Amino acid sequence: QAPFAFISTLNRLPAKETDHLPRKKDGVINAYALGIAAMNAHRFETDQLVRGMEACLQANLELVTTQLDQELVLTEIVVKLLS
Pair 16, 35 in one domain: yes
How much is the pLDDT for 2? 65
Based on the fold, state whether residues 49 and 39 are members of the same structural domain: no
In this prediction, residues 35-49 reach a mean pLDDT of 90
Q: Is the pLDDT of residue 1 over 60?
A: no
Please compute, for residue 77, the number of CA atoms within 13 A of its CA located in the half-sphere on the CB side: 17
The mean per-residue pLDDT over the stretch 22-44 comes to 87
Same structural domain, 31 and 65: no
Q: How many domains does the chain have?
A: 2
Find the mean pLDDT for residues 30-52: 89
pLDDT for position 3 = 73
CA atoms within 13 A on the CB side of 24: 8
pLDDT at residue 63 tops 60: yes
